[in-house]
Structure 1
């Protein structure tokens, strides 16, 4: 590269400001600031609790209404004015009726295995389920970490549930109380 091109590209000896490096540094600094300030980041879900809770908001299943999966057959975000505390988590609901149903029967409406992916439980690991990947099987809600896991579970739920249920007690003992 000629001296003139090096100077124009900023790659010559003594090159000063490098925009690419500066951008990476800025993003790293913002990410650290966001974590320290308590803003949600991609690592918001804890996987050491019996019920998966966002560590920044305290919300179970990222604020989705667990009753809506049954009543509306879809994942719907709950509202802050319809909340209930259960199992160390804050649950949100779309309306008072859904909140009342959950409070009366959390074992029915809450996600099974505390919201952990049953496919991963069957493999012996705890992995947080995603409230957008879900199935209701035998009137129970299951959350999955990946779409592929949901599809595999739908193909053979009985076998995979047996495997997850067999491993769950030991895995649950290792989770925080």
Structure 2
């Protein structure tokens, strides 16, 4: 067995620490630690869009918190709505109001073919479809070439579903 010095132990421990910090940072800034949904919908703790009303993006032009009192189960997740009218509107046409790519980050699906978490305030409606993104920086990247990213995302999304979300 080689002679292990105190200095060698400190160097090894430091290297392990650096690797751990890098792993944590990449998860924190790229995808978060939230568990990805088994269904094709990003739903931390089973709730889509972190409890934000998907219909309100279209009717109010902003992210509006929904409530458990006005909820609906669809596509493997629970969706919250600000009121019964929005819940009923969604129930009649869920595909029209649900975010694209299951609510996963539109940029990450398009650019990397990967699933990143999203924030309700990072969104845009394009051609009548709702797209969500991870954060402000990623939203800005996505907005640099929205048509290109949508084309890439639309191409990659079926394979992601096929491979299992």
TM-score normalised by L of structure 1: 0.70
Query: Out of 19, 42, 59, which is 1:52 matched to?
Result: 42
Distance in 1 (CA, whole Å) between partners of 2:86 and 2:141 is 30
1:96 is aligned to 84
1:42-100 deviation digits (Å, cap 9, x = unpaired): 73442554101113xx2111110000111111111101110111001110100111001
1:4-45 deviation digits (Å, cap 9, x = unpaired): xxxxxxxxxxxxxxxxxxxxxxxxxxxxxxxxxxxxxx7344
Gap runs ≥5 in structure 1: 1-41
1:29-44 to 2 correspondence within 5 Å?
A: 43-44=33-34
The verdict on how the C-alpha distance between 1:113 and 1:166 changes in structure 2, with shifts beyond 3 A counting, is same
CA RMSD of aligned residues (A): 1.6
Are 1:158 and 2:147 matched, yes or no? yes
Number of residue pairs matched?
133
Are 1:116 and 2:95 matched, yes or no? no
CA contact (8 A) 1:133 1:144 kept: yes
Gap runs ≥5 in structure 2: 1-31
CA contact (8 A) 1:93 1:99 kept: yes
Which of structures 1 and 2 has the larger relative contact order (alpha carbons within 8 angstroms, sep 6+)?
A: 2
Structure richer in helix, relative to its length: 2
The verdict on how the C-alpha distance between 1:156 and 1:50 changes in structure 2, with shifts beyond 3 A counting, is same
Query: Out of 54, 75, 85, which is 1:66 matched to?
Result: 54
Distance in 2 (CA, whole Å) between partners of 1:45 and 1:135 is 24
TM-score normalised by L of structure 2: 0.75
1:26 is aligned to none
Name which one, 1 or 2, has greater alpha-carbon Rg: 1
Stretches of 4+ aligned residues off by more than 3 angstroms: 42-45
Query: Out of 135, 158, 162, which is 1:169 matched to?
Result: 158
